[in-house]
Amino acid sequence: MECTNMESKNFIVVERIERFLYLITVGLILLLISYGSIAPAAAAGSEAHLKGEFGPLHNWPIVPIHMALLPDGRVFAFGTKMGKLKYTIWNPYIGIGTDAFETLPNITDTNIFCSGQAFIPGTGQALLIGGTNLSSGDDSDDVNIFDPATETLTPQTQSMAFTRWYATAVTLPNGEHVALGGRRTESSSGTSATYSSTPEVRAADGNWRTLSSAVSDSAYGASRNSWNYPRAWVNPQGSVFILTYQGLMYKLDTSGTGTLSQYTKKTSGSNSNLPSVMFAPGRILSLRNNRVATVVDINGTGEPVLSSGGNLIKDRKYSNATVLADGRVWVNGGSSTGNDLTGAALDSELWDPATRVWTTVASAATARLYHSASLLLPDGTVLTGGGGNPGPIRQLNGEIYYPPYLFKADGTGELAPRPEVVDAPTNMIGWDQEFSVEATDPIAKVTLVRVGVVTHTFNNEQRFFDLPISQTDNIVSVRSPASANIAPPGFYLLFVWNASGTPSIAKFLHIG
């Protein structure tokens, strides 16, 4: 008994030391954040204030098929379909050299390639569902958690009831997660493909329950690829809204054994290689077939309201859509011919929700197609990387896009002076809560963007808020989003803007 107690005490001591070292690391990273972006843009052109600019192409140790912004500002990424998938942690505040990457082995029995992912709201740990079992080669019902404090990937004892390759995980208002879609692929042993048309919910304690009353092939099952990373978000009423590729729309109530309702309205067709993103509370920009963009408003209690989001300038199959710090949507990569260099778009497009007009902006150095990803960073830039496996090019690299708001408006191509956040909440805050923000410059605007988790052209975690302020001053009062239905619990990027329209480096805001 003494030996057992001693081992337990030693374990607790080690765990506390790891947490202490992690907090020190976070503190150093946040200190670096306060001094600004570590990786500056390359020499920019005279239209940088209109189109933005790409930084240099830089090497990655893996193909970053999956990306997640950790609440300490680092990027957790995994990919490269070669045996046991490795994962890497990139520290953008060190730069883009090899010393900024820490590549770690996958010690679980799960090939986490093409899994679903979300954040655990209370801890900022990454929840990974599904993938492939390394022992059998079959698709998996495994659940793994990545802890940024210990930099370890740990298998969970409670697995899902269904195998889910290409599933979506949605963070619910109560901090639980619902798993939608996915499938078991046809195996070499002759097992037929099966589709996971029954959703299930993971409670905060790690236990799962199936939503047996909400089974559907058309919402998230076999019908028209609905199982393939279902496009789903929490709506302002607290249910889960699902927008399918065939244009059907659904509402899922996750209480009890679940209730699924289909809306009468239908929008145009789309495909799993076209992105959709929530650009404002209860408003989704969805790229559909034939360069059509549709805005879906789900704020009301009745039918969704559909309106035109304009037409893209180019076809962009396998592109990514990222909500920027100012609420505009940046779409990059893709090809008119699919996962093919013929028709690949190096230039990108910027969508303004106020005018619903698409504008051609900066061009990248290389194509971003299938298995590429893009992610908003705390300094207001966007990391874009990956592609390939399979594909025309195996992209072990990334680029950083510097949006127009980071440059002086005089055409010199110089980066604009940025305001700095002097004071903002460091502890968790609640919903509909007033708090103060102080900056070095008079604050003209405050915006909030939920940290992203992206793969396979879909970032279902991102949400944007333009928070009203009472006056323009160095210290302003701000109110957090009204409810968990509008802003699910978790981590958000808080940007303050000066009168010139330049954002600060974001502060992380924990809402819960």
What are the distances in angstroms from CA 328 to CA 387, 422, 458, 498? Answer: 24, 26, 17, 17
Tens-place pLDDT, residues 306-362: 999 999 999 999 999 999 999 999 999 999 999 999 999 999 999 999 999 999 999
- Please give the CATH superfamily to which domain 48-406 belongs: Galactose oxidase/kelch, beta-propeller (2.130.10.80)
How far does CA 181 lie from the centroid of its chain?
18
Nearest residue to 172 via CA among 201, 129, 215: 201
* Cβ 511 vs Cβ 413: under 8 Å: no
- For 292, list phi and psi in degrees, rounded to 5: -85, 135
- Tell me the domain boundaries of the chain: 48-406
- Measured CA to CA, the distance from residue 172 to residue 169 in angstroms comes to 9
What are the distances in angstroms from CA 325 to CA 45, 103, 191? Answer: 22, 29, 46
Tens-place pLDDT, residues 408-427: 999 999 999 999 999 999 99
Classified as helix, coil or strand, 204 is coil
Nearest residue to 358 via CA among 329, 334, 316, 382: 329
Rounded (to 5) percent helix, strand, coil in the chain:
10, 40, 50
Q: In what order do the strands lie in the sheet with 152-155?
A: 116-119, 126-129, 143-147, 152-155
* Cβ 50 vs Cβ 408: under 8 Å: no
- What would the two tokens of residue 144 be? 């793994």
Round the average pLDDT of the chain to a whole number and report it. Answer: 90
* Cβ 229 vs Cβ 458: under 8 Å: yes
Classified as helix, coil or strand, 162 is coil
Between residues 18 and 120, the one the model is more confident about: 120
In terms of pTM, does the model score above 0.85?
A: yes
pLDDT at 34 over 60: no
